[in-house]
């Protein structure tokens, strides 16, 4: 909560409790508390959060009670006590909602570089348009430089995306107002730092958007990587194009498992093609064939395909079909049943086994990794859930079944430390004990090359 929101809450509590003070202090306390509430509310304008509404409703009820109160004695006490309890409950509910659904505060990136970000829009030969956000090591923009809006290029775009995400989840749009107010650490369109950066392409979860792992992307960029988050048109909840058009998701369950599996395979294949197309475009940026300040900055010969959930399956499929990818990261994603063995090293982060679906998913993933021709790693993270590996713990309620139990920043730290260790080893060839670095975060299984097992 902001300072002025806290002021409103404290003033509201004082206003409710003033009814129970001695008569000499009751009126002065109530008037002072009401003034504090009015002042604090005014200073939250013009953009107050919805969580203040229950708090202000309690203040309104107190005001009405003061105006209507005529009787005193026992009858008045009998009405005043439950009224005060109800008002305190309203204040508590608003405060709790603000705590459970906060404006996300992004962890400070841990690497030595400043971070820049920019948004690209490219159209493939078949006229499919993808929107890509880049996070990259940047020259220091200075302490007063603006910071990037979360969820979109502008607040308006962020509200469109948040509303679409909420609708996709079947929730009212106002519940996701916190992320629309957030800014990350990256500086928009900052000049890139000197050097050539290994490339990390990212495909979000089903219905997810390019920004869903911003904290992770910024941390990797601060460590010297280019991260390219991809919006997949008609799959992502909403893709806002440069001309303002909004492409809504067309993904929906049919209720027929066989048909849904067939459709999912199609979505994965399209996403994999998107990742390959984006890698091609990044190579053109590096060679100066496309305009921009990134000529000579992207080392596309060292490129990882990564993704969350179905995006993780897309990353594995892209690596199978495109040998330009040299490593793969799958963040809790179930691969397709016909996924072939990979020649690239793979890091798969998973949540603990909880039901039959988890068992089947891990068995399939294990079989695929066992057939690979490079050493791969599967890390099961205790206390994690499916959304642990995204930004969701920063702004959703801290419910273990929803976001895990690692904490808001602990979730981000785990994901960045494990994936950075893997990328440093596979893309940069840095020496170190990778299994030891990974096993600090969970139950590690190492999958040696299939040829070595034979």
Tell me: the pLDDT tens digits for 87-96?
Answer: 999 999 999 9
Tell me: the pLDDT tens digits for 256-285?
Answer: 888 888 888 999 999 999 999 999 999 999
Report which of residues 423 and 257 the model is more confident about. 423
Structure confidence at residue 451 (pLDDT)? 61
Tell me: the pLDDT tens digits for 104-117?
Answer: 999 999 999 999 99
Closest-CA residue to 140 (of 206, 190, 179, 215): 190
Say yes or no to pLDDT of 356 above 50: yes
Mean pLDDT of 319-345: 96
Structure confidence at residue 76 (pLDDT)? 60
Span of 248-252, 369-373, 403-407, 429-433 with lowest mean pLDDT? 248-252
Structure confidence at residue 72 (pLDDT)? 53
Mean pLDDT of 343-349: 97
Mean pLDDT of the chain: 92
pLDDT class of 453 with cuts at 50, 70, 90: very low
Q: What ranges do the domains of the chain cover?
A: 3-100, 114-453
Structure confidence at residue 454 (pLDDT)? 46
What span, in angstroms and rounded, lies between the C-alpha atoms of 62 and 393?
36
Mean pLDDT of 395-421: 95
Mean pLDDT of 38-56: 91
Domain 114-453 architecture: 3-Layer(aba) Sandwich (3.40)
Considering only the C-alpha atoms of the chain, give the largest distance between any 2 of them, rounded to a whole number of Å.
Answer: 90
Structure tokens at 86: 């109800």
Mean pLDDT of 70-74: 49
Instruction: Give strand pairing partners of 131.
Output: 121, 231
pLDDT class of 40 with cuts at 50, 70, 90: very high
**HSE-up of 361 (CA within 13 Å, CB side)?**
24
pLDDT over 90 for what percent of the chain? 78
Give the contacts of 385 (CB within 8 A, at least 6 positions apart): 351, 400, 401, 402, 403, 404
Say yes or no to pLDDT of 429 above 50: yes
Tell me: the pLDDT tens digits for 180-222?
Answer: 999 999 999 999 999 999 999 999 999 999 999 999 999 999 9
With a threshold of 0.85, does the pTM exceed it? Answer: yes
């Amino acid at each position: 909560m902001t300072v002025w929101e806290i002021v409103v809450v404290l003033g509201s509590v004082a206003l409710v409790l003033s009814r129970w003070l001695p008569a000499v202090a009751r009126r002065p306390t109530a008037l002072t508390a009401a003034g504090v509430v009015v002042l604090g509310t005014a200073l939250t304008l013009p953009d107050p959060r919805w969580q203040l509404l229950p708090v202000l409703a309690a203040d309104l009820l107190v005001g009405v009670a003061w105006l209507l109160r005529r009787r005193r004695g026992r009858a008045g006490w009998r009405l005043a006590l439950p009224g005060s309890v109800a008002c305190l409950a309203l204040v508590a509910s608003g405060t709790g909602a603000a705590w459970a659904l906060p404006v996300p505060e992004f962890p400070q990136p841990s690497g030595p570089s400043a971070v820049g970000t920019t948004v690209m829009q490219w159209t493939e030969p078949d006229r499919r348009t993808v929107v890509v956000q880049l996070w990259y090591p940047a020259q220091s923009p200075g302490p007063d430089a603006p910071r990037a809006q979360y969820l979109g290029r502008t607040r308006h775009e962020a509200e469109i995306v948040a509303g679409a995400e909420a609708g996709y989840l079947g929730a009212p749009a106002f519940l996701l107002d916190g992320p629309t107010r957030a800014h990350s650490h990256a500086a928009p369109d900052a000049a890139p730092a000197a050097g050539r950066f290994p490339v990390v392409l990212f495909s979000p979860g089903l219905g997810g958007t390019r920004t869903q792992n911003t904290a992770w992307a910024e941390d990797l960029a601060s460590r010297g990587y280019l991260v390219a988050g991809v919006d997949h048109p008609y799959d992502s909840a909403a893709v806002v194009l440069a001309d303002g058009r909004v492409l809504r998701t067309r993904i929906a369950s049919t209720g027929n498992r066989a048909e849904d599996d067939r459709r999912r395979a199609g979505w994965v294949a399209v996403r994999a093609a998107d990742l390959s197309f984006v890698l091609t475009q990044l190579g053109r940026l590096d060679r100066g064939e496309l305009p921009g300040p990134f000529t000579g900055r992207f080392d596309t010969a060292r490129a990882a395909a990564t993704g969350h959930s179905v995006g993780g399956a897309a990353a594995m499929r892209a690596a199978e079909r495109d040998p330009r990818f040299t490593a793969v990261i799958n963040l809790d994603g179930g691969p397709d049943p016909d996924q072939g063995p990979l020649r690239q090293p793979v890091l798969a982060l998973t949540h603990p086994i909880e039901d039959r679906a988890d068992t089947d998913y891990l068995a399939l993933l294990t079989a695929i990794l066992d057939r690979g021709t490079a050493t791969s790693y599967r890390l099961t993270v205790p206390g994690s859930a499916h959304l642990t590996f995204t930004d969701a713990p920063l702004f959703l309620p801290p419910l273990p079944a929803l976001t895990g139990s690692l904490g808001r920043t602990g979730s981000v730290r785990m994901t960045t430390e494990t994936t950075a260790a893997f990328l440093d080893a596979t893309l940069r060839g840095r020496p170190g004990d990778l299994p030891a670095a990974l096993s600090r975060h969970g139950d590690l299984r190492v999958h040696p090359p299939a040829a070595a097992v034979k």
